Structure 1
Amino acid sequence: MIDLSIIALSESLSKPGNYALILEDTVGKRRIPLIIGANEAQAIAVAMEKMQPLRPFTHDLFYQTLKQVGILLKEAVITRVQDEIFYAIICLLTPAGEILRLDARPSDAIALSVRFDCPLRANADVVDTSGYFVDDKTRDKKGSYAEYTMAELEELLAKIIKKEDYESAARVRDAIDRRKKLG
C-alpha cells in the first residue's frame, strides 16, 4: 500500500462541470489525477477546509451515522484502475473489532477519509499505472504537447496561469482544445 495526500482540486478543463483531484504518493512523489463530479469536489473541499454547512451533506450524514453507532473509518484505498476508471474501498472498524470492507467510488472514499482524518492509500499497481512524476527537468524533455496526458496538460495550464504567462497558457489551452476535438 502506498500512502497518498490530496495536493490539488480545481475545475477540469478537459471535462467541463467536473473537477480534477490530484493525489500524490507521499514517498515517491508520483501524482495521480482523478476527474470527479462537482458534488464530490464540494464534499471534499468542505471537509478539507473544515467548513460547517448549515445542513449536513450526504457525506456528513454518513460520517455522523457511523460515528453514532461507534464505527470508525480505518482507511480508504484506491484498489485498481481499469479502462481509466478508478475503484476504491473503505475499511470500517466496528465496535466489536471487526473490519468491514465496502466498495466505494474513489471520490466518496476520499470525502469520507478527509472527514475521519484517516489514511488514504492506493495499491502499488494503481500508482505504477496511473502515477506520473512532476519534474521540471523531465517535462522539458518532452518534445510536444502530444506526449502529455490530458491531466498533465490541465496541470501544466494551471501552473502557467499561476505564473501569469498567458502566452504559454494560450498554447497549452489550444493543445487541450485540439485534443478534445479529436475525442
Structure 2
Amino acid sequence: MIEMKVAGIALDAITRSPIVLLKDGSDRRALPIYIGQEQAKAIIGALEGQKPPRPLTHDLLNNLLETWEMRLERVIIHSLQDNTFYAVLCLSQGEVKKEVDCRPSDAIALALRTDSPIWVMEEVVADASIPVDREADEEERQAFRNFVANLRPEDFTERGRSSPNES
C-alpha cells in the first residue's frame, strides 16, 4: 500500500466535474478520482479548516466517532472496477476493529477531518495514477537500465553462497 495525501480539487476541463487529486509522498504519482459536487465541497471545507455553524454530514460522522470513542485508523482505497474506486474505513473502538465500505470521496472527507492517513493499494496506483514528474521517472528508468546492463552472472551466485567456515 502507498500512503497518499490530498493535493487538492480540480475540475475536468471538458465535463467540469470535480476531481480529488491524491499524491504519493515523493510527489511522483498522482491519483485522480472523479467525485460529486457535494463531496468536493466537503473536501475543500476540510482542507481549508472551515467550521460550519451546524454539522454537515462528514462533521456529523466525525462527531459520532468521537461520541462513541471510535477512531478512524486509516482509509484504504483498495480497488478499481469498471472505472469505480472502492474504499473502506478502518475503524477501532478499544480492541474491536471493523472495516466499513464507503465511497472514496466520503472516506477522504472524513480522513481529513480526523487527521487519518489515506492508503491506496499499489495495484490501484499502478492502474489509475498519472505521472507527475516525467523527468524523474525517466532518470529512474535509465538508472535501472544501467544497473541491468552492468550485471554479471557472478553477481547472482556470490550473494546466495555462504563460505565453508559459516555454519
TM-score by length of 2: 0.77
Which secondary structure state, in structure 1, belongs to the residue aligned with residue 127 of structure 2? helix
Q: Equivalents in 2 of 1:26, 1:136: separation in Å?
A: 16
Which secondary structure state, in structure 2, belongs to the residue aligned with residue 100 of structure 1? strand
- CA shift at 1:8, angstroms? 2.2
The alignment-based identity, stated in percent, is 34
- CA shift at 1:134, angstroms? 1.7
- CA shift at 1:27, angstroms? 3.6
Give the ranges of 4+ consecutive aligned residues of structure 1 lying more than 6 Å apart after TM superposition.
Answer: none
Q: Equivalents in 1 of 2:14, 2:54: separation in Å?
A: 32
Question: Does 1:121 pair with 2:133?
Answer: no
Partner of 1:130 in structure 2?
A: 128
- CA shift at 1:98, angstroms? 1.1
- CA shift at 1:56, angstroms? 1.1
Deviations 1:105-141 (A, max 9, x none): 0000000000110100101101111112123559xxx
Q: Equivalents in 1 of 2:109, 2:98: separation in Å?
A: 18
Q: Equivalents in 1 of 2:14, 2:88: separation in Å?
A: 27
Partner of 2:31 in structure 1?
A: 32
Partner of 2:89 in structure 1?
A: 90
Q: Equivalents in 2 of 1:99, 1:125: separation in Å?
A: 25
TM-score by length of 1: 0.70
Q: Equivalents in 1 of 2:10, 2:125: separation in Å?
A: 21
Trace 1:134-173 onto structure 2 (pairs within 5 A): 134-135=132-133, 137=135
Tell me which amino acid in the other structure corresponds to 1:102.
V
- Higher deviation after alignment, 27-36 or 75-84: 27-36
Mark the runs of 5 or more structure 1 residues left unpaired by the alignment: 139-183
Which secondary structure state, in structure 1, belongs to the residue aligned with residue 35 of structure 2? strand
Q: Equivalents in 2 of 1:15, 1:56: separation in Å?
A: 30
Tell me which amino acid in the other structure corresponds to 2:14.
S
Q: Equivalents in 1 of 2:27, 2:13: separation in Å?
A: 27
Partner of 1:47 in structure 2?
A: 46
Q: Higher helix fraction: Structure 1 or Structure 2?
A: 1
Greater C-alpha radius of gyration = 2
Which secondary structure state, in structure 2, belongs to the residue aligned with residue 53 of structure 1? coil
Cα 1:128/1:28, change in 2 over 3 Å: farther
Mark the runs of 5 or more structure 2 residues left unpaired by the alignment: 137-167
- CA shift at 1:25, angstroms? 1.5
Tell me which amino acid in the other structure corresponds to 2:69.
G
- CA shift at 1:10, angstroms? 2.1
Tell me which amino acid in the other structure corresponds to 2:97.
I
Q: CA-atom RMSD, angstroms? A: 1.8
Question: Does 1:14 pair with 2:14?
Answer: yes
Query: Matched residue pairs, number?
Result: 137
